[in-house]
Amino acid sequence: MPQGDKDKYTDKQQRKAEHIEKSYERKGVSEKEAESRAWATVNKQSGGGNRSGGSGQKKSAGSKAAARSDSAKQAAATRKAGSRSASLQDQTKDQLMAKARARDIKGRSSMRKQELVNALRKSN
């Protein structure tokens, strides 16, 4: 199947992509970008073309859904672990400023990065 060929998609998937594309175009997104986003959304939701002979991989719809779910759970776990393990020193000043704002640290706007790090460590 050549790249960009939509023959392997079901009629329902094609209608869904058209609807999503029109929605993006109404929001002012270019036609090409709207089409790209629409098909990306359809692929994310359904795992790609589902007609026989699709990707060449023999996967049922159930196993495709399970793989997407596992992938999403793994990505979420990575994001959570990444935010916990990132030391204050490795974060940008903007990130530190947001944390200081959330903890209502006084004088944060005039602090340098190292001062923000120290203030955040003291506030724990």
Burial level of 106, CB count in 10 A (0-12/13-18/19+)?
exposed
- What pLDDT sits at residue 115? 93
* Mean pLDDT, rounded, for 101-107: 93
pLDDT of 82 strictly over 70? no
Band the pLDDT of 1: cuts 50, 70, 90: very low
pLDDT of 45 strictly over 90? no
**pTM assigned to the model:** 0.41
Phi/psi zone of residue 43: left (φ > 0), alpha (ψ -120 to 50 degrees), beta? alpha
pLDDT of 47 strictly over 50? yes
